[in-house]
Amino acid sequence: MSALLELRDIRKSYAGVRVLDDVSLALAPGEIISLLGPSGCGKSTLLRIAAGLDQDFTGGLAHNPLLDFGGGSGIGVVFQEPRLLPWLNVAQNIGFAEGRAADGAWIEQLLADVGLGGQGDKLPKQLSGGMAQRVAIARGLYQRPQVLLLDEPFSAVDAFTRMKLQDLVVHLADAYGIALLLVTHDLDEAFYLSDRVLILGGSPSRIQRELAVPLPHPRDRRSAELAYLRGEALTELTELTL
């Protein structure tokens, strides 16, 4: 199996109502995939299944054995909200691992990587929203994952901070050889970041369309190629919500 993470024919129901039906995807090493679709189409549910946080589904979930190298799960998660523990400082939030001693040198490296060098002693209440999400990204990287799952991680910050965090995540994914699976509502974000964009929708929800983004990083947000792909996705999403 060359994919790091593979979901096959995923079906998911709530209270007897099918919300996901026959959804399949495979995430290759170093690849960035975005899940795009209307609110309530099951994007976050699919991400929780991929993370192993929701096991009440049918279908197949397969992890490449290489993800378990080093004893970790090989998968990190960044949520929409930072979810920092208010009684722990920044460094403790990043290295929080029950029953294991934190790696101080690695925490300092991650703080530097996310632009928060020397900020490890601060408490969450002393951080801006963008800083808190940088801490959450560092925490997601702490176990040295090969796959990072992100559930609308930039939706709670302003537009300028959002763009800076997008560039940060792309840089770190490249630097550490990490594959990303991202849930987003934002067309600009999806096509700026991703190698492939999967559009979910319908009732029950299925992958309606896959759009490849054959552009190298760094990308120009104003490029005609990205504008064309955003237009294609917008047409698809409009039809799904009619």
pLDDT, position 98: 56
Domain CATH number, residue 24: 3.40.50.300
Residue 189 lies in a domain: yes
- Work out how many domains the chain is built from and give that number: 1
Cis peptide before 204, with omega less than 30 degrees from 0? yes
- Tell whether 135 is covered by a domain: no
Instruction: Give the single-character DSSP code of 66.
Output: G
Over residues 126-169, the pLDDT tens digits come to: 999 999 999 999 999 999 999 999 999 998 889 999 999 999 99
Residues 62, 27 contacting (CB under 8 angstroms) = no
In a domain, 125, yes or no: no
Rounded to an integer, what distance in angstroms lies between the CA atom of residue 71 and that of residue 115? 28
Q: What is the pLDDT of residue 180?
A: 97
Whether residue 233 is contained in a domain is answered as: yes
In a domain, 119, yes or no: no
Residue 211 pLDDT exceeds 90: yes
pTM of the model: 0.93
**Could you list the residue range(s) of the whole structural domain that residue 74 is in?**
5-83+145-241
Is there a domain that residue 25 lies in? Answer: yes
Contacts of residue 40, Cβ cutoff 8 Å, sequence gap at least 6 = none
Q: Is residue 152 part of a domain?
A: yes
